A and B are shown apart, each in its own frame.
Chain A
């Protein structure tokens, strides 16, 4: 038994892709190993910008032996009565490379057959690992691959060296013209430090001595701990955003955080610009005041290397920061020379989505849509103004120097400039919020007008794309339309209120497009379908089982604002014994109605024959009244209890009468009673979709 180690030494791998590369490589090893009978310990993966490492403890020397049975011809046809071996027999052993010792006669379902029993001795693990390593590497997938030498192998970055050892033996893997050996390289100080490795265990010792920290989590601990200490020293705090942290940690093989000062007047510059400079340009951590009221003139750089001569590195970072801040001040001052409003004409020169005109056209549409939703939602005069004004101004910051330099500040800069130019706070906030959420799990708009502008901005994008036939899928989505749909759904699901006329808003958006360009075509149904699909996956991601999700998705999509609450209540009551009765009753009612042929003409008391019919009808009328109020106040738990009260009457009804009575009038009347009952159930959810275990 030996340990196995595999290291791909490369030029710098893009920081954002290292962790995914490690986990892909690990999974590939696990998958390819499954094809063999080789017993191993667990597969572990590590990596830095310069190396991807796989370590498997306790690999057996060879695969387990296995036995295979090959069924041959029937005994009668293979061997004659006088024990003569016939043609089929000879052919069988020749074809399968069998010897006489491997032949057995076995009975299958009463008939005798010739069988070859072959013992396959397991292959040597060295051979298997060679094959697995090559396949595991070749099956890696990255968004952008490259070629770098005459082999034209594609990989994320050039492979420079391969180390592959099983115990003290080299596993002769060959990739991109490079043969694996037992040497690798330590940290690059003035030159690459070559190291000879005796065994996998020896590798981990030596690589650490040469200033390589292989484990991402260990590097992360170092950065987090030291960054917090450094920030504390100046009475500040760092905000450790996981994704950004991963990026800066994965730019290092040996991280050393250090504190820098921006010793200059930055008072004129909004904090968000300073933050962007520190993060984007310097790949460093900004430091905020402890109480969260603003940014400090310090930041934390993370050196790839030790603390030796770190004052040189610090000086360099500080100098770059200064130059960038000066740039920022220049851009900010240039922007202040113009009003946001003066950019709007020029938006006609900024393309929106192909065939959908410019951002000026989009602005015009947004203003129209904002007027429409203002009236639909009956917004106050103040809010209507804010929404319309923000709709008009929201894209104008795209043409500012600062957004050109820091695209991620779009919206935020528009908001700052708007307030600066004397727009009211509501307008400024709406501009800032209209791009939220920018990604999954991002924060949502808070203000009412922010929600509405974000919604119509995204609806306009999706409607336009679908009308002009832009195709998008998980693998190809150049305009980020899936993210846009995700944004629409998150806003709707969290909008609050009983319902939202989303269908009408979409229809209005289509109408506005068609006024602009009669060549476009499409239906609101198409767009609603896309929204429904996304709603379904979003609710499931939030932890609601598929059956509950299906049961609310069959409701009118305008009720989307209440889907989460409904799911929550269904989830709470699903295990209730009584709840099962609701499901069963709903199913029964639905089945009866769907099988019967009848016309819907309302319930007529005069056709009631049994008292249970009358009682049920009374109950239905009372329930309907209460239900309307409970739906309005979104008191969904009370609705479940209301249904609980209704069920016994329904049960009695089914016990006492036969719905499918031979008299047509009585039958019809009972069916019509059930239709009303069904509507009550389905005003809350399609219970029949719910699965009872």
Chain B
């Protein structure tokens, strides 16, 4: 099964489970969780069920396109349901079957993996799912976001698509994945991986990035204080990406790290507050 078929199958599967299928959110993010489709929707009482593909950029994981397993950018398939369906785990396992896996011929293990992020004040309890030893999914029940205890809780399922594709296509190198039957992953992405890494590790100018962080943070906070949620949240995501770039460059000092995280956290809290308040107004 090629990469694009895999996405299509997952999309169809979750569509049939009643999820809204949305396009990837158009901002650089380190994980699908940061997308407003997940983070902002986890807050408050309104039910929500969504599935979307999300390219995720983690500069520190970049290897100039030369490592068979690590990427600057990879693809996540993100499912987020609130309140969680009772048999959500069984449904997830069904989704693996639609990818052509016969589970009894393999091993599935759910291994404890809880998750916490200071930037979003978010906390989740859950598992990493391993298929014959390979981590293919994060399965998490969100307990807290922006420091708020969530009620109802949200279940989040994040598939690592490259890992799954390598497994299904029996490839030992990510760049050998068939995107469709003619085009390989390397044809599409190898050059881009190299460019991103050259930028992140060598060319990025820390002082410019610090300045951008400050500008985005200032503008984002200003806008969020005017209760303009999405434009403000965009700026938080920009800050987060720039922070990751600076981090990969090793340019953030101890004191700066604490301070930058606190500033992003403040924006996340402001955003969460807007979500909660507008929900109250609609009641």
| A-to-B contact residues, CB < 8 Å | 11-12, 14-16, 49, 144, 146-150, 152, 157-158, 188-192, 251, 282-283, 301, 303-305, 308-309, 312-313, 315-317, 319-323, 326-327, 330, 348-351, 358
Which chain B positions have C-beta within 8 A of A316? 106-107, 131-134, 167
In the complex, A149 Cα to B153 Cα: how many Å? Answer: 7
Say if the beta carbon of B108 comes within 8 Å of chain A. Answer: yes
Say if the beta carbon of B160 comes within 8 Å of chain A. Answer: no
Give which listed residue, A149, A188, A348, contacts B86 with CB less than 8 A.
A149
Most A CB within 10 A of own CB, among B84, B107, B127, B172: B107
Give which listed residue, B67, B68, B105, B107, contacts A304 with CB less than 8 A.
B107
Q: Check B153–A282 contact: CB distance below 8 A.
A: no
In the complex, A15 Cα to B83 Cα: how many Å? Answer: 27
Which chain B positions have C-beta within 8 A of A315? 132
Say if the beta carbon of B254 comes within 8 Å of chain A. Answer: yes
Chain B, Cβ-Cβ closest to A308: B104
User: With A312-B132, A316-B133, A327-B69 known to touch, is A189 a contact of B86 (CB < 8 Å)?
Assistant: no
Chain A, Cβ-Cβ closest to B87: A160
Which chain B positions have C-beta within 8 A of A301? 133
Q: Check A189–B103 contact: CB distance below 8 A.
A: yes
Q: Check B69–A326 contact: CB distance below 8 A.
A: yes
Say if the beta carbon of B15 comes within 8 Å of chain A. Answer: no
Most A CB within 10 A of own CB, among B111, B114, B131: B111
Say if the beta carbon of B95 comes within 8 Å of chain A. Answer: no
User: With A12-B127, A251-B109 known to touch, is A323 a contact of B86 (CB < 8 Å)?
Assistant: no
Say if the beta carbon of B102 comes within 8 Å of chain A. Answer: yes
> How many B residues are at the interface, by size bracket?
35 or more
For window 101-143 of B, CB contacts with A under 8 Å fall at: 102-112, 114, 125, 127, 131-134, 141, 143
User: With A147-B141, A316-B133, A358-B254 known to touch, is A190 a contact of B103 (CB < 8 Å)?
Assistant: yes
Q: Check A14–B143 contact: CB distance below 8 A.
A: no
A151, chain B: closest CB distance, angstroms: 10
Say if the beta carbon of B26 comes within 8 Å of chain A. Answer: no
Q: Check B114–A326 contact: CB distance below 8 A.
A: no
In the complex, A301 Cα to B130 Cα: how many Å? Answer: 13
Say if the beta carbon of B206 comes within 8 Å of chain A. Answer: no
Extra 12 A-B pairs, beta carbons < 8 Å, given A11-B110, A148-B141, A320-B134: A11-B127, A12-B109, A49-B110, A146-B141, A146-B153, A148-B155, A189-B103, A282-B133, A316-B106, A316-B107, A316-B167, A330-B63
Which chain B positions have C-beta within 8 A of A15? 111-112
Give which listed residue, A312, A320, A358, contacts B106 with CB less than 8 A.
A312
Most B CB within 10 A of own CB, among A251, A308, A319, A322: A319
Give which listed residue, B83, B104, B125, B132, contacts A146 with CB less than 8 A.
B125
Which chain A positions have C-beta within 8 A of B105? 308-309, 312
Which chain A positions have C-beta within 8 A of B70? 327
Most A CB within 10 A of own CB, among B89, B132, B254: B132
Q: Check B106–A147 contact: CB distance below 8 A.
A: no
Q: Check B172–A322 contact: CB distance below 8 A.
A: yes
Say if the beta carbon of B278 comes within 8 Å of chain A. Answer: no
Q: Check B143–A189 contact: CB distance below 8 A.
A: no
Which chain B positions have C-beta within 8 A of A323? 68-69, 172
Which chain B positions have C-beta within 8 A of A303? 107
User: With A146-B143, A149-B83, A312-B105 known to touch, is A320 a contact of B133 (CB < 8 Å)?
Assistant: yes
In the complex, A312 Cα to B105 Cα: how many Å? Answer: 7
Give which listed residue, A152, A188, A330, contacts B108 with CB less than 8 A.
A188
Q: Check A148–B153 contact: CB distance below 8 A.
A: yes
Q: Check A349–B254 contact: CB distance below 8 A.
A: yes
Which chain B positions have C-beta within 8 A of A322? 172
A347, chain B: closest CB distance, angstroms: 10
Say if the beta carbon of B98 comes within 8 Å of chain A. Answer: no
Q: Check A313–B253 contact: CB distance below 8 A.
A: no
User: With A319-B172, A327-B69 known to touch, is A313 a contact of B106 (CB < 8 Å)?
Assistant: yes
In the complex, A450 Cα to B253 Cα: how many Å? Answer: 32
Say if the beta carbon of B151 comes within 8 Å of chain A. Answer: yes
In the complex, A189 Cα to B93 Cα: how many Å? Answer: 11
In the complex, A141 Cα to B83 Cα: how many Å? Answer: 25
Which chain B positions have C-beta within 8 A of A321? 133
Q: Check A189–B104 contact: CB distance below 8 A.
A: yes
Which chain B positions have C-beta within 8 A of A149? 83-84, 86, 152-153
Q: Check A147–B90 contact: CB distance below 8 A.
A: no
Give which listed residue, B90, B132, B152, contacts A317 with CB less than 8 A.
B132
Chain A, Cβ-Cβ closest to B84: A148
Which chain A positions have C-beta within 8 A of B143? 146-147
Q: Check B83–A330 contact: CB distance below 8 A.
A: no
Q: Check B107–A192 contact: CB distance below 8 A.
A: no
User: With A283-B111, A304-B109 known to touch, is A192 a contact of B90 (CB < 8 Å)?
Assistant: yes
In the complex, A158 Cα to B151 Cα: how many Å? Answer: 16
User: With A190-B104, A322-B172, A326-B69 known to touch, is A150 a contact of B83 (CB < 8 Å)?
Assistant: yes
Q: Check B89–A11 contact: CB distance below 8 A.
A: yes
A14, chain B: closest CB distance, angstroms: 4
In the complex, A304 Cα to B127 Cα: how many Å? Answer: 16
Which chain B positions have C-beta within 8 A of A326? 67-69
In the complex, A56 Cα to B19 Cα: how many Å? Answer: 45
Chain A, Cβ-Cβ closest to B124: A146
4 closest A-B pairs by beta carbon, nearest first, are: A316-B132, A14-B112, A12-B110, A146-B125
A19, chain B: closest CB distance, angstroms: 14
Which chain B positions have C-beta within 8 A of A317? 132-133
Chain B, Cβ-Cβ closest to A148: B141
In the complex, A374 Cα to B147 Cα: how many Å? Answer: 50
Q: Check A152–B90 contact: CB distance below 8 A.
A: no
Which chain A positions have C-beta within 8 A of B67? 326-327, 330
In the complex, A308 Cα to B106 Cα: how many Å? Answer: 9
B169, chain A: closest CB distance, angstroms: 12
Most B CB within 10 A of own CB, among A11, A12, A157: A12
For window 30-84 of B, CB contacts with A under 8 Å fall at: 63, 67-70, 83-84
Q: Check B83–A313 contact: CB distance below 8 A.
A: no
In the complex, A15 Cα to B110 Cα: how many Å? Answer: 10
Q: Check B114–A144 contact: CB distance below 8 A.
A: yes
Which chain B positions have C-beta within 8 A of A305? 104, 107
Chain A, Cβ-Cβ closest to B131: A316
Q: Check A350–B254 contact: CB distance below 8 A.
A: yes
B33, chain A: closest CB distance, angstroms: 17
